[in-house]
Structure 1
Amino acid sequence: MINRTLPYCLEDRTGHYMGTDFDEIYDRLFLRIARPSPSQVPHSSETTLMIYNTGRRSSSHRLSRPPSREPSAILDFGLNGTLGTIWFAESGVSMPIGQYLRKTSMFAGSLSRKFTAMNGEEYRWIHRAVKDYEWSCVDSRDYVVAHYHLKPPEKPAYNTSGNVLTIYEPFTHLSIEILATLTIMRHLAAGKY
Structure 2
Amino acid sequence: MTSYGMPYLLEDKTGKLTGSHFVDINDRLRFTLRCTSWGSTHATYIIYNMTSGTDPVATLTFGSNNSLGTIAFGSGPQVPMSSFLESLPIGSAKSRRFIGSDGQQYRWSWRTAQGEEWTCTNASNRHIASYSLKVPGEPEYAQSSGCVLTIEEAYPHLAAEMLASLTIMRHIVAHNL
TM-score (structure 1 length as normaliser): 0.82
Specify the SS of the correspondent of 1:33: strand
The alpha carbon displacement at 1:78 in A equals 1.1
Correspondence 1:9-158 to 2 at 5 A: 9-36=9-36, 47-55=43-51, 69-80=54-65, 82-89=67-74, 92-105=76-89, 107-152=90-135, 155-158=138-141
- Change in 2 beyond 3 A, CA 1:47/1:153: farther
Contact 1:87 1:93 in 2 (8 A): yes
Q: Which amino acid aligns with 1:108?
A: G
Structure 1: runs of 5+ lacking an equivalent: 57-67
Q: Which amino acid aligns with 1:52?
A: Y
Match of 2:163 in 1: 179
Q: Which amino acid aligns with 1:171?
A: Y
Structure 2: runs of 5+ lacking an equivalent: none
The alpha carbon displacement at 1:171 in A equals 1.2
Normalized per residue, which structure has more strand? Answer: 2
CA RMSD of aligned residues (A): 2.5
Specify the SS of the correspondent of 1:169: coil
Contact 2:37 2:45 in 1 (8 A): no
The alpha carbon displacement at 1:3 in A equals 3.1
The alpha carbon displacement at 1:80 in A equals 3.9
Distance 1:168 1:192 in 2: 29
TM-score (structure 2 length as normaliser): 0.89
Specify the SS of the correspondent of 2:64: coil
Distance 1:116 1:93 in 2: 15
Q: How many residues align?
A: 176
